[in-house]
């Protein structure tokens, strides 16, 4: 049976990742480490012979995608639905500052519940919009093709979970994606979407920055 492959790729490191600062939809660029991570990851992903390359329009994701575009000759397309979760009033704060200044909201986030207040996007809204973007990307390739999507940590996990139909409790069993690591999904007409691999990448194990 013909199987389509979808690679959901987290962007490289940024200074805000390194400082545990909440990025959300703030347009933070890659740092030197992040640009090198993108190049290293692209050297592996090119071996998958992707047919289509799609990216969030935020610069840290689009610059990550550009590393793969340089090796494949593909021209990435951009989809706002693949942006990171909108973290509202948290954006720009460190997680320590969020915990100190907005303790009730932080406690709900830590517990995996929707944040009440702070104008933070709900998990359902996040999962739905990112899953729609992922499905649209997959629809760009014929059956049996491979599409790579450059996106963000929280966006990737929620979007993948929604695409797979997982309940929120099951989704919490997945650890955060490391920078420039990816999820591999497969699709065929009889089994639908299936998880093939998670947190794949070229680097040795390192502490994981918050996926925000």
Catalytically active residues are 11, 84
- Residue 149: closest CA among 73, 70, 45, 71: 45
Residue pair 68/45 in contact by the 8 Å Cβ criterion:
yes
Residue pair 148/53 in contact by the 8 Å Cβ criterion:
yes
Residue pair 9/151 in contact by the 8 Å Cβ criterion:
yes
* Alpha-carbon separation of residue 54 from 73, 78, 108, 120 (angstroms): 13, 6, 32, 25
């Amino acid at each position: 049976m013909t199987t389509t492959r979808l690679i959901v790729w987290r962007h490289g490191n940024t200074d805000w990742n390194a400082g545990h600062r909440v990025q959300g939809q703030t347009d933070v660029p890659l740092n030197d480490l992040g640009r090198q991570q993108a190049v290293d990851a692209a050297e592996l992903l090119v071996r998958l012979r992707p047919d289509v390359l799609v990216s969030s329009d935020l610069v840290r994701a689009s610059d990550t995608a550009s590393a793969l575009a340089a090796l494949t000759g593909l021209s990435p397309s951009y989809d706002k639905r693949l942006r990171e979760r909108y973290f509202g009033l948290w954006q720009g704060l460190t997680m320590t500052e969020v915990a100190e200044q907005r303790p009730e909201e932080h406690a709900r986030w830590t517990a995996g519940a929707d944040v009440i207040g702070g104008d933070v996007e709900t998990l359902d809204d996040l999962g739905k919009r990112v899953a729609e973007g992922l499905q649209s990307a997959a629809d760009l390739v014929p059956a049996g093709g491979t599409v790579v999507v450059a996106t963000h940590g929280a966006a990737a996990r929620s979007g993948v979970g929604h695409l797979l139909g997982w309940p929120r409790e099951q989704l919490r069993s997945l650890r955060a994606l490391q920078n420039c690591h990816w999820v591999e999904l497969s699709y065929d007409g009889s089994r639908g979407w299936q998880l093939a691999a998670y947190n794949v990448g070229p680097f040795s194990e390192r502490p994981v920055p918050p996926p925000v």
